[in-house]
């Protein structure tokens, strides 16, 4: 009797599964919110944030 063939999906790599999780439509709002928060923190920590201060 011949051996049975193994059928099924191969395991995906870490980067591939992470990319699919980040680009899935059900996670879009969370990814967008985290991205906007990161950009805001980077902006406020930079010298460009001084443009938000009123002139004295």
* Secondary structure class of 40 (helix, strand, coil): helix
pTM reported for the whole predicted model: 0.64
Integer angstrom CA distances of residue 8 from 5, 11, 15: 10, 9, 20
Q: State residue 55's pLDDT score.
A: 84
pLDDT value at position 47?
93
Share of the chain above pLDDT 90, in %: 61
Mean pLDDT value across residues 10-19: 86
Per-domain boundaries in the chain? 14-52
Q: 43 Cβ partners below 8 Å, 6+ apart?
A: 49
């Amino acid at each position: 009797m011949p051996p049975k063939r193994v059928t099924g999906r191969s395991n995906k790599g870490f980067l591939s599964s992470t990319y699919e999780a980040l680009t899935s439509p059900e996670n879009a709002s969370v990814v967008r919110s985290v991205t906007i928060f990161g950009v805001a923190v980077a902006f406020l920590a930079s010298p460009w944030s001084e443009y938000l201060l009123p002139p004295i």
